[in-house]
Amino acid sequence: MMWYDGGWGWGGWVVMTVVMVLFWAVLIFGLVALVRYLTGAHHHQQPGAPPPPGAGGWQGRRAEDLLAERFARGEIDEEEYRRRLALLREHR
């Protein structure tokens, strides 16, 4: 009976328990990440959402929308709005 004197004792049980919990945590995390990747929102586009970057003129349209929002909130006056809008449209 060599296990009684040279065994790990309670330390072995603690190490095995920690390793088992870590193993299951990594496995569950991996499965959840895989499912979220395969069914995630990046695969589905909401109706009315802007097209992804690089899809024909989207960047210029978004800049005009942001400028219009700033004007609507009163952050810039009408003169500034028209000047910046003309500059945006000139560089498209």
Mean pLDDT on 53-74: 76
* Residues whose CB falls within 8 Å of the CB of residue 81, separated by 6 or more in sequence, listed in order: 67, 68, 70, 71
pTM of the model: 0.39
* pLDDT tens digit sequence for 8-42: 677 888 889 999 999 999 999 999 999 999 987 55
Tokens of 73: 């909130």
Question: Quick one: 70 exposed, middle or buried, by C-beta within 10 A (0-12, 13-18, 19+)?
Answer: middle
Neighbours of 67 (CB within 10 A): 19
Contact 67, 84 (CB under 8 A): yes
| Separation between Cα atoms, residue 73 and residue 56, nearest integer Å | 28
**pLDDT of 2 higher than 70:** no
Mean pLDDT on 3-11: 66
